Amino acid sequence: MNLKKLLLNGRVLLLILVIVGSILTIIAQGITYGLDISGGVEITVQLEKPVDQSTMEEVRISLENRLNTLGVKDITLEPWGDQIIKIRVANVTEEEANSIIDTINRQGVFYAEFNGVIFATGADIKRVDQVSYEPREGAWIVPFSISKEAAEKFAQLALGKVSYPVDIFLDPPVNSTLIVSQEIYTLMNSNEFQFVPDAKPLPQRLKEAFNIDVVPYTNQSVEEIAKLAQGKEKVILVGVNGELESTLKNLGIKVEKREPRAGEAADEFIRRILGLYGPYRLQEGLTTGEPHTELAISIGGSKEDIAAMGQAQVVSVVLRSGSLPVKVFVEGVNYIPPTLGEQFRKQVVQAGIVALLVVGLIVYLHYRKARIAIPVVLTSLSEVIAILGVAALIRWNLDLPSIAGIIAAIGTGVDQQIVITDELLGGRKKEKITKRSGILKRMGRAFFVIWASATTTIVAMSFLFKFFVGGLRGFAFTTILGVLIGILITRPAYAEIAKVLLSEER
C-alpha cells in the first residue's frame, strides 16, 4: 500500500486534521452533557394564559432573576410557544430542586427600602414606563410612579439625606442569618453599599428592614451559630467553606450555601444573594420633603453601552412585576439524580462501542474483506470524534436525543460507504478500476446518491430543529451535523482510501 501517497491525498489529510483538531478541542474544552446525563431537574412552567413575545420575555427574565438568587448553576430557561417555559437546571440535588420549585410557585415579593425602612412594596408601583436614554444625564432612565402613600413616606425619610443609598429588593432572604466570610462582611460595610458616612451600612439596613442578621465567620462553633439562628427561618452560608452546612443540618437547622460563580465579582455576588438591585444614589431634588409620585432610576453609561441598557431593562422588569406579569404554575417536574445520569452515560458509551463493532462485523460478513470492514468502522469512529469536537467547541449540551442523532448519522454514513464500496467493486467486473475515467464515473454515481440522501435528511431535520424545542432539537442538530461532516469530509476521504485499498487487491 502506498501509505505516503494516501496520507498526502488532500481529502484524507483534511480528515486527519479534523480528527486531531476535534480531539484537542474535546481535551481543552470538555464535553457539556445535557440534563439527562449530568443529572438535574427539568421543570415545565405554564403561564396562566397565552401571552405575546414581549410578555413572555418579561416572564423569562423575571424568573431567571429570581432563580439566580438561589445560586444554582447551569440554569436555562427556554420559552416554548406562547404559554410554556422549560426550565432546566443541571447538577442539583433533590433538595435544591425543591427549593427551585418553591421559588417558582411563590409570587416574587418586591421591596423598596431607604435607610432601613421599607417605604414601598409591589402594590405601591403604579406604572413603569419604557426604558429610554437621556443624553443630558449620560444615563439610561427607568421612569416609574408610586402610590401617594409611598411617596409621602419616602419624602419624610429622605428629607435632607442627599446621596443616601436607595435599595430595591426582589425576594430578599427575610428573617434569616447570613454567615459571611470576612471579605464579604468588609465589603458589605464599605462605601460600595453606603455612599456617605452618615448613611446606615448595608447590614444594619438589612437588619432593620428584613430582620436579616449578617455575621462575619470567625471560626465560631456550630453551637454558637445555632444560637445565632434561633427564631430565624434559615441560615445562609456565604462564601464559607468547611463542614458547617452538614453539621448545622444535623441539628435540624435549615441551611443554604452560596458560592460565587466563576468570574463573578464580590459585589455582584452580594447583590445576587440578597436579591438586591442597587443601591442607587438619592438625588438632591428628592430630599426637600415634598412628596414625588413620579420617580426614575438612572443607570450611567453611553447610548452604545449594552451592559447599562441591559441593567436598566432588568430594573424595569423588577419594578414592573414585583411579581410576574402573569401567574405561573409548575405543570411538570422531571428530576434525574446525578448517579442515574452517570449510569446513562456509561450505558451510552457501551452501546456506541458495541454498535460500531456490530457494524464492522456485518460489513465484514457481507464483503468477506477486513480491508473494507476496518476502514468503514474507522471512518464511522472519526465521524463521531468530529461531531463531538464541534459539540465541545460550541458548548452544545449533549443529551440522550443528541447521542441518538449521532448514532443515526453513523447509520446513514455506513449506508453511504457501502454505496461507494459497491460502485468500486461493481466497476471492477466491467473495467479496470485504475482507469481514471471509469472511477470518476462510478464515484459520480455514488456521490449523486449520497448527496440526494443527505439533502432530504437535512431538509427534514431542519424543520424538526426549527419548530421543536427540547430533546428533539438535539436529535436534529447532531443528525444534521453528522450528515454534513460525512458528505464534506469523511465520505470523500473514505472513497480515496477505498480506491487505493481495492485497486491494490487486484
Choose the final residue of a domain: 305, 322, 354: 305
Q: Are residues 297 and 411 in the same domain?
A: no
Q: Are residues 375 and 489 in the same domain?
A: yes
Quick check: 107 and 48 in contact, CB under 8 A? no
Q: What is the mean pLDDT of residues 479-486?
A: 89
Q: Are residues 169 and 271 in the same domain?
A: yes
C-alpha radius of gyration, the chain, whole number: 31
Residue 340: count other Cβ atoms within 10 Å of its Cβ: 13
Residue 76: count other Cβ atoms within 10 Å of its Cβ: 13
Task: Give me the number of domains the chain comprises.
Answer: 2
Query: H/E element holding 374?
Result: helix 370-393
In a domain, 176, yes or no: yes
- Partnered with residue 177 across adjacent β-strands are 213, 235
Using the structure block, give the residue that is written with the C-alpha cell 459539540. 391
In a domain, 487, yes or no: yes
Boundaries of domain holding 19: 3-35+337-504
Cα 393 to the center of its chain, rounded Å: 15
Task: Tell me the C-alpha distance between 255 and 244, whole Å.
Answer: 9
In a domain, 7, yes or no: yes
Quick check: 198 and 152 in contact, CB under 8 A? no
- Angle between helices 370-393 and 338-367 in degrees, nearest 10: 150
Q: Are residues 296 and 393 in the same domain?
A: no
Q: Given pLDDT bands bounded at 50, 70 and 90, which one contains residue 176?
A: very high
pLDDT at 22: 92
Condensed to tens digits (0 to 9), the pLDDT of residues 217-262 reads 988 888 888 888 888 888 998 888 767 888 888 888 888 888 887 7
pLDDT at 189: 93
In a domain, 267, yes or no: yes
Q: Is 150 exposed, middle or buried (0-12, 13-18, 19+ CB in 10 A)?
A: buried
Quick check: 92 and 72 in contact, CB under 8 A? yes
Condensed to tens digits (0 to 9), the pLDDT of residues 301-351 reads 788 887 778 777 777 766 765 556 677 778 888 877 767 767 777 777 788
Q: What are phi and psi of 112, to 5 degrees?
A: -115, 125
Q: Are residues 285 and 346 in the same domain?
A: no
Choose the final residue of a domain: 254, 287, 305: 305
Q: Are residues 134 and 261 in the same domain?
A: yes
Q: What is the grid cell recorded at 64?
A: 431567571
**Cα four-point dihedral sign 197, 200, 204, 206:** negative
Q: What is the mean pLDDT of residues 372-394?
A: 89
Q: Are residues 289 and 357 in the same domain?
A: no
Choose the final residue of a domain: 254, 282, 305: 305
Cα 133 to the center of its chain, rounded Å: 30
Q: Are residues 264 and 388 in the same domain?
A: no
Q: Are residues 280 and 345 in the same domain?
A: no
Condensed to tens digits (0 to 9), the pLDDT of residues 4-45 reads 777 778 888 898 999 999 999 998 888 878 777 777 788 888
Q: Are residues 259 and 346 in the same domain?
A: no
CATH code at 405?
Answer: 1.20.1640.10
Q: Are residues 436 and 489 in the same domain?
A: yes
In a domain, 80, yes or no: no
Residue 60: count other Cβ atoms within 10 Å of its Cβ: 17
Cα 207 to the center of its chain, rounded Å: 34
Condensed to tens digits (0 to 9), the pLDDT of residues 255-285 reads 888 888 777 888 888 988 888 887 888 888 8
Q: Are residues 245 and 360 in the same domain?
A: no
